[in-house]
Every structure is written in structure tokens, then in C-alpha cells.
Structure 1
Amino acid sequence: MPTDRPQPVFVLVRPQMGENIGAAARAMWNFGIDRMRIVAPRDGWPNPKAVAMASGAGRLLDEARVFETTAEAVEDCTYVYATTGRHRGLTKPVASPEQAMGDTAERIGSGGRVAVLFGPERAGLENDDIARANAILSVPVNPDFPSLNLAQCALLTAYEWRRATETITAHTVEMAGSDWATGQEMEKLAEHYEDRLDTAGFFFPPTKADTMKLNLRNLWSRMPLTRADVQMLHGVMRQMVRWKERGE
């Protein structure tokens, strides 16, 4: 059974290749969408090539609903987006995937049922399909090469749905089992290097020593070091000192 999470329905209109249906299923499930409807698939249904391409998302194909016409596929929906990049001579609101999925989230949150139509690979949706939609979803692609295959378009739309409905962490750091170094640990590291470099005569001439030490402190403060990093840098300096002493 499909999950009980509120979400849009992805309607594949007259898809031509089973592989593309399977790839679209994978793209949908990557971002948590599992409601697929298929209108008049060219090679019939079920399609073993779709199952092979879907890989771990085969459940979506098992639960996909098949319809003869686009009208039947969206008859229970309160709002429909049609994905197309071409001007069809029809007056329709046109939204980016980001805006369309934000709007979809609001409509579904208010109890609506939203469908997104995806056209066949070769020519896309026909005017008769688009006329049944309330608005157009248009991906801002390169105008010199605007063609997107079925799975690509499903992936972009599903990704924007995920962004509109989930808390996305924009940036994080994998700490690999360590913690950030504390101010005290950074201070000890700075003192260690300053002391050893002073002994080695690095801060020369004496008139520039204070500025050089200040710059070195500033360098440490700009470096986001972990405790493991600090321990390693202490070890580097200790080994260099031992190597110097052995050579004397």
C-alpha cells in the first residue's frame, strides 16, 4: 500500500519505454513520492523493463494505477499541473518547479488533491492534456537544449516537493568521531608552535616578531580544527623538534 503521507500524484501520460517508467519510479521514491498513475502506456502494463529499471522502487510500479485517458487519471484531483517547456497557445499560469511544489504543499495541506502530468518522451504532453491542467510547471532549462527525459523531469519535481515539505539541512560537517577543538586547546596549540618557532629563530627580524606572532595567532583562529587535528599538529611539531635534535 502507498504510504499515508500527503503528497501529489505523478501521472505519466502515454509513456513509451518501460525503462523510463522504472527510472521515474526510482526518482519519485528517492524523494518520498509513491503515488504513480499511468495513462495508456505504449508497451502495455505490467512492463518487465520498468521493473528492472526501478530497482528498489518496484513497489511503486506494483501499486501504480493504470488509466485509459488523462481525464480519468485526474478526475479525483482538485488541481493539476502539466509539465511542459513549450508554448502551446493556451493561456495558463506558469510556475517553476520550486513555486509549483510550494503551492502544491499548501493545497494538499488544505485538503486538496494535486496531480502533476508528465508527457511521453518523444513529444511531451498534447494540448488536450494541457487543457485539463490548471497550470503549467516549467523547468528553467537551457533554451538551446530544452529537452528533459521523463525521469529527469520527475526527479526535479520530486526534489522540489521534498524541499517544500521537509526540513533540509543546508550545510553540515561530518565529524568522523571527533569534536571541535575548544578555545583552550587552540590556545595551547598556538603557544606550542610559537614557543618552538621562537626557539628555531623563525620570528626574525626582532622588529617584526610581534606582527608575525599576531598573524600566526590569526591563522589558527581561522582554521576550524577538531581535537584530532590539534593532536596531530602537536605531534608534527614534536617530531620535527626530535628530528632536529637527533641531527645535532
Structure 2
Amino acid sequence: MAGTNRKRQIITGGPAIILVEPQLGENIGMVARAMANFGLSNLRIVNPRDGWPNDKAVSAAAHADHVIAGVLVFDTLQAALADLNLVYATTARPRDGHKPVRGPVEAGEILRRREDGGERTGILFGRERIGLRNWEVGLADEIVTFPVNPAYASLNIAQAVLLMSYEWMKSGLSNPHETAFDKPEVEPAPKSDLHGLFAQIEEGLDARGYFRSETKRMKAVDNLRAVLTRPGFSTDEINVLRGLFASFDRFGRPGQRMPAGTGEALDDNRGTEE
């Protein structure tokens, strides 16, 4: 599977994901995949319609084998929740005002704090067609609901699990802008490398008669250096550019003038007088 790296340590643990009477094995498998994406591994299933194990779930899990292997199956919701200290019920339907209602960001942060404090937590998801019944929501401590389009608020199980799993993972980051895939550290090139690039380009432009006057030359060189100093090139990047420009010399002759209009952006005075 693209994006899977079995050499890296698998992140596991976190809140239990509890599916109430799921109908399709494919949906269970996609839930397992979403959980594995964001470091959750405790999947509990209450009275699955097609029984367990389920070959379609295994196929849809896309190698989230550790989640599938650890699935716990229960006959009743009460049994699935018995060892948990805090449970969220996910729903998009209006309910009575007896339970706190959280958004996914806040719920993820609360789950993280409670788990870090040694408590066992869970997130409850309902059936594909009708979601959770009122009495099932009543067994949860709080409700979590997603900021969705009010006219199209229904999410499938895997989508809902993915959103909460993402918020769980994000709540554990020391920096909200942190990513798992950092760009490689590159040391900026010394100015001598950059000056060598300038000299090479200017020499090539001179050989082709690009500079039509000294005034034009000064303006073009200033603009060129402004463009090339902006990115903060590394030495390797400058070497790539120097190799590129060097290749041009194999296709031109000293003294050959560039076609009219070529490179106008370099010496464009943008309305200023010479």
C-alpha cells in the first residue's frame, strides 16, 4: 500500500472505538484503516450483523492488521463500555440538553488529557443507516458532533472515525503545525557560491550580446540578483543551476545575439526612467 512504511514503529493505544451493530464488513475494515492512520488500535464491535471475523473487513482494512487482530466483539453495548471511564457518543441529530456537547477539537483534547491521566476512554459510533438510538446516547458521558453542512450532515462510519482519530492524533502534537514528514535540513550556500552563479550568468549574457547599454546592464543585473537571492539556495541547488546554464554554452556561439524580446523581464524598468 502506498504510504505504508513497515520499518517505522507502529503507534497504538488511545481511546476505544466502539461500533454499534455495524452492517457491512467493508465499513468495519475502513474504520480499522482510519484508526491505524492516526495511531488508534482498540476497536470494539457490538453485535455485528454479519458476525466476526469478516473477510470483507480484512480486505478493506488495507493492512491495518494489528487493529483487525485486536478487535473485541460484544453482545451488548453495556458490556462494551463496562471498563471505560469516559465515553463520547457521536451524533449529528439534535438531542436534549442533559449532556455536554463538544466539537471534535475540544473532545480530542479532553480525551488526550483523560488518557494521559490513566483513565480509559471511548468514542461511540452508530449504525450506518440510523446512527445511535437515544438510549444508547444516554449511556455516554458527553456528545461530540461535527461542524458539517446542516443540510447534508450524515457521515458514514469510516468518515466519522477518521475525523475523531485525526483530532486524537493532533491533540498529542507539541506543535499544531508539526508534521510527520519534515523536509530535509539544508545548509544555505555561502555567498561565494552565489557570486559564482551571478558571474557565470552575466558572462553568458555578455557573450550573447544581451546587454544593449551600460544602463540596461546595471538594471538587468540588479533585477537578476534580486530574483536569485530571494530563495536562499543551498550549494547543491546552485550547482544544479550552474550545470543548467553551462549546458546553454554548448548550443550557442560567443557573440551571438539573443532574439529580440528574449529576457525582457530582466531589464524591464517598470516605468522608471534610465
Aligned to 1:196: 204
Pick closer, same or farther for the CA change 1:11–1:58 going to 2, 3 Å.
Answer: same
Check if 1:128 corresponds to 2:139. Answer: no
Paired residues of 1:90 and 1:131 also in contact (CA < 8 A) = no
Q: Tell me how far 1:246 sits from its aligned partner.
A: 7.6
- Could you tell me which of 64, 74, 92 is aligned with 2:71? 64
Contact 2:207 2:254 in 1 (8 A): no
* AA aligned opposite 2:247: Q
Deviant stretches of 4+, over 4 Å:
3-6
Map of 1:186 onto structure 2 = 194
Out of 37, 60, 63, the residue aligned to residue 44 of structure 2 is: 37
Distance 1:170 1:208 in 2: 48
> Does the 8 Å CA contact 1:6/1:108 hold for their aligned counterparts?
no
Aligned partner of residue 123 in structure 2, secondary structure: strand
RMSD: 2.6
Change beyond 3 A, Cα 1:90–1:114: same
1:108-127 equivalences under 5 Å are 108-127=115-134
1 CA distance for matches of 2:147 and 2:37?
22
Q: TM-score, normalised to structure 1's length?
A: 0.86
* 1:53-111 Cα deviation digits (max 9, x unpaired): 22422332332222222222112211111111121234332222222111111111112
Per-residue CA deviation, residues 96-142 of structure 1 (Å, 9 max, x unaligned), is 22221111111111121111001111111111111121221212222
- Would the alpha carbon gap of residues 230 and 90 (structure 1) be closer, same or farther in structure 2, given more than 3 Å must change? same
Match of 1:212 among 202, 208, 220: 220
2:223 is equivalent to residue 223 of structure 1: no
Per-residue deviation, 1:9: 0.8
SS in structure 2 of the partner of residue 56 of structure 1: coil
2:151 maps to 1:141: no
TM-score relative to the length of structure 2: 0.79
Question: Higher relative contact order by CA 8 Å / sep ≥ 6: 1 or 2?
Answer: 1
- In 2, Cα distance between the equivalents of 1:77 and 1:213? 69
Distance 1:171 1:212 in 2: 39
Residue type of the alignment partner of 1:169: T
Q: Which residue of 2 aligns with 1:236?
A: 244
| SS of structure 2 residue aligned to 1:245 | coil
Q: Would you say how many aligned residue pairs link Structure 1 and Structure 2? A: 244
Q: Could you say if the C-alpha distance between residues 190 and 80 of structure 1 is closer, same or farther in structure 2, counting changes exceeding 3 Å?
A: same
**Contact 1:80/1:115 (<8 A) preserved:** yes
Superposed CA deviations along residues 123-171 of structure 1, whole A, max 9, x for unmatched, are: 1111111112122121222223222111111111112211112453287
Structure 1 window deviating more from structure 2 (15-24 vs 4-13): it is: 4-13
Give the residue type in structure 2 aligned to 1:134.
D
How far apart are 1:5 and its partner, in Å? 5.5
Name which of structure 1's ranges 138-147 and 161-170 shifts more when overlaid on structure 2.
Answer: 161-170
After superposition, the Cα gap between the structure-2 partners of 1:186 and 1:68, relative to the gap in structure 1 and judged at 3 Å, is same
Shift of 1:232: 2.9
- Greater share of helix residues, 1 or 2? 1
The alignment-based identity, stated in percent, is: 39
The 2-side partners of 1:32 and 1:5 are apart by 5
Residues 13 and 42 of structure 2 are in contact (CA less than 8 Å); yes or no, is this contact kept in structure 1? no
Distance 1:231 1:4, change over 3 A: closer
The question of whether the paired residues in 1 share the 8 Å contact of 2:208 and 2:254 is answered with no
Does residue 20 of structure 1 match 2:33? no
- The residue that corresponds to 2:270 in the other structure is none
Using the TM superposition, name which of 201-210 and 147-156 deviates more: 201-210
